[in-house]
Structures are given as C-alpha cells and as structure tokens.
Amino acid sequence: MVDVELRGVKKNYGPVVAIQNLDLSVEKGAFCALLGPSGCGKSTLLRMIAGLEAVTAGSIHIGGVDVTHVPPAKRRIAMVFQSYALYPHMTVRQNISFSLRVAKAPKDLIERRTNEVAKMLQLEQLLDRKPAQLSGGQRQRVAIGRALVREPEVFLFDEPLSNLDAMLRVQMRIEIAKLHNDLKSTMIYVTHDQVEAMTLADKIVVLDHGVISQIGAPMDLYLSPENKFVASFIGSPTMNFVPADLKQVDGSTAALDLKGGGQVTVTTRKGPAKKNGGLELGIRPEHVGISAAGAANSNLPGTIQIVEHLGNATIMYVDTPAGTIVVQDDGDYKGKAGENVGIIFDPTRCHVFASNGMVM
C-alpha cells in the first residue's frame, strides 16, 4: 500500500527551479532514502512532504489523503532535523514531551509515552538534563525521541547524523535501523552519504538537480546504474571511467578500444550498442585486478603510484595511458609504488556509457 505519494510536484524559488515535475510513491512501512549531492533538492522535497514548504505545482498524498494544503501539524508526520533544534531551556523530558503538552494530551498519557520513548532510546538516565549537558549523539537521540512520541504515520529525517563523528554516526545508523525494524513506520531519510543510504534504505531515490536520476533497491543501483551520475555517486572508492571507442558490436557484445591503446570485450546491458565514438567504460575499483607487467590477459599497462593499506583492503592508484585507475585488492596485497603492472578489467563487471551519460 502506498503511504506517501508525490504527483507532478514542482518547486521554484523565484527563478531557481529546485524540484522539476517529480513523481514518487513510498510504500507503507518502507525505508526510503533521498540521496544526492548538495543543492540537488533533497531538503526542499522533504520540507514539502512535511508541509513546511508550499509546492509550486502538483500534489502530495499521505495515507491516501491529499495533504497538499494541510498544515504540517495535521499531516501525521514528524521530522528530525540535522541541527536537532532542541529547546535549550527545557530538560530532555520537557523536550520529548513538548508536542504532547502543546496538544493538551492527558498527563498520564504524556508521562507514559515520554517514559516509553526514553526507554527505547536509552535516555532514561538523562531525562532531567538540559541539551547543553548532552553529547552530540545523546542530543540526536532526544531529537528522535521528540519525533517518536507523536506516533506519526511517517518519519522524515533530514541528514540527522551529519553533525556526529564517524564512530557515533555508525552507532546511530544502527539505532535508526533498529527503530525502523521495531516500529515498521514509513521513513523518508535525506542524506548525501551513499553508505547511509545503502545500509538503511530498502529503496533509494537518487536526485540530480531536482530530477530523479534513478530509483531502486541499494544493490540494483550498485550493480545496474542507469547512468554515469548514479554510477559515480554509489560506491566507494568511486567507479573508474575510461574513454573508449566502439570497435565492433555483435549482439550485446561490444569490443572497445580504450584510450591509450588497451582493449576489452564486454557485454552491454541495453542490447546492441550503436556504433559510435565518445563512449566511456565504467568499472568499480573492486572489479579491477592487477597482473604482472605485460601479461597477455591485461587490458592496460600501468605503474602503481600510491598504495593505501586500509587493513581490510588495499587501494592502489595506478597510472595508465588511459589515466589513473583506482584498484581495490585484498588487505594483504603486497604491491609497491613504482612497480610496473598490468591492469585487468573483469569483463562481466564493466558498464558502457554513451556520450550523454546513459548506460548502453
């Protein structure tokens, strides 16, 4: 069942087009991530769903009801902001219970809900403190608690973890995943962090300049990006792109001449490729191998420039006639800077992009 639906939604700020004619449906209980670079319109979209921003055109439906002109307080949504936006002069208890007190809920209900939420978020020991006496992660939990207490139909999160350090971010990410498992509420989560989107969401909406670039399950986007924008946004280290020309096509099999003289034969995704130049071969660092220099099966010659040992993986930056290729190998890989090597592309993991950026 669809819970949140946007139909033909547009948003202009004067001459700035923030969202262009966007359609989206989010199923009840789904965890949907809105992912994209800064300025692509993520917050604008979320704020329109929340009712904090009016739409320029189109309509918004929550739980089957057209809420386009319904004020935020009546939309059965709760929003968690990046800045937490806690009331500094109130205790944790007062912050969490604020919306219920404003709504003049009965005292015993306020107390029961506040205690339940505090227990769920492990804030019981902190209920009498003020926000200034909390760590960043604790403040973020209070901000989530304030949303939880309202028992909303839909949770909206706008980059809730971006002010936290890396370790805390991972912990809170797991807390949010647990919360979603427990509550089974619809959640829409804005982030520019592809790892957060990949790990939390069952559906990712990639936004590019106010337009949906691709919608899919995390692994669909990783394995089958429809365009270069999605291909380069998902995955870390990012996908390598090598300029290429089409030499020969046979059905969906394409032989490519790589810049600098290398060659590779790959299976394209969208049937026969048009015979034209100006293509790009895309391949992720984890799908590039290293061979001895001059090995018959290598696609390009190269020289290792930099080796990064991450413990669980080794990242190498290899200079080739086609530009720098990033290679990810096992943690104990023994390659050294200055070494001449061969580069091997896994032909089953290659993506071919046309000059307009669309996958072929």
Ligand X SMILES: Nc1ncnc2c1ncn2[C@@H]1O[C@H](COP(=O)(O)OP(=O)(O)OP(=O)(O)O)[C@@H](O)[C@H]1O
Report the interface residues with Mg ion, using CB under 5 A. Answer: 43
Between 42 and 173, whose beta carbon lies closer to ligand X?
A: 42
* 41 contact choice in ligand X, Mg ion, none (CB below 5 to 8 Å, kind-dependent): ligand X
What, of Mg ion, ligand X, none, does residue 18 touch, CB below 5 to 8 Å by kind? ligand X
Stretch of 2-10, 34-42, 172-180, 336-344 contacting ligand X, by CB under 6 A: 34-42
User: Least distance (Å) from ligand X to the CB of residue 94?
Assistant: 29
Residue 312 structure tokens: 């669980």
List of E strands, the chain? 2-13, 16-27, 31-35, 57-62, 65-66, 77-80, 154-158, 186-191, 203-208, 211-216, 240-250, 253-258, 263-267, 279-283, 288-292, 300-309, 313-320, 323-330, 340-345, 351-353
Does 173 sit near ligand X (CB under 6 A)?
no
Q: Which of 43/95 has CB closer to Mg ion?
A: 43
What is the spatial distance between Cα 304 and Cα 337, in angstroms, rounded to a whole number?
Answer: 5
Shortest spacing between CB 253 and ligand X, in angstroms: 39
Question: Least distance in Å: CB of 19 to ligand X?
Answer: 8
Please tell me whether residue 16 binds ligand X under the rule CB under 6 A: yes
Applying CB under 6 A, among 4, 6, 35, 40 the residue interacting with ligand X is 40
Question: Would you say 49 and 60 are in contact if contact means Cβ atoms under 8 Å apart?
Answer: yes
Q: Which lies closer to ligand X via its Cβ, residue 11 or residue 287?
A: 11
Closer to ligand X at the Cβ: 210 or 216?
Answer: 210
Are 336 and 305 contacting, i.e. CB atoms less than 8 angstroms apart?
A: no
Q: Is residue 18 within the footprint of ligand X (CB under 6 A)?
A: yes
Q: Indicate the residue type of 313.
A: A
38 near ligand X, rule: CB under 6 A? yes
| Residue 13 lies near ligand X (rule: CB under 6 A) | yes
- Other beta carbons less than 10 A from residue 30's beta carbon: 19
Contact between 194 and ligand X by CB under 6 A: the answer reads no
Name which position in 150, 169, 173, 192 contacts ligand X (CB under 6 A).
Answer: 192
The strand pairing partners of 57, in sequence order, are 10
Q: How far apart are CA 77 and CA 79, in angstroms?
A: 7
Hey, is 42 helix, strand or coil? helix
Please pick, from the candidates 25, 29, 39, 179, the single residue that binds ligand X as defined by CB under 6 A.
Answer: 39
> What size, in residues, is the chain?
360
Where on the chain is the footprint of ligand X (CB under 6 A)? 13, 16, 18, 36, 38-44, 192
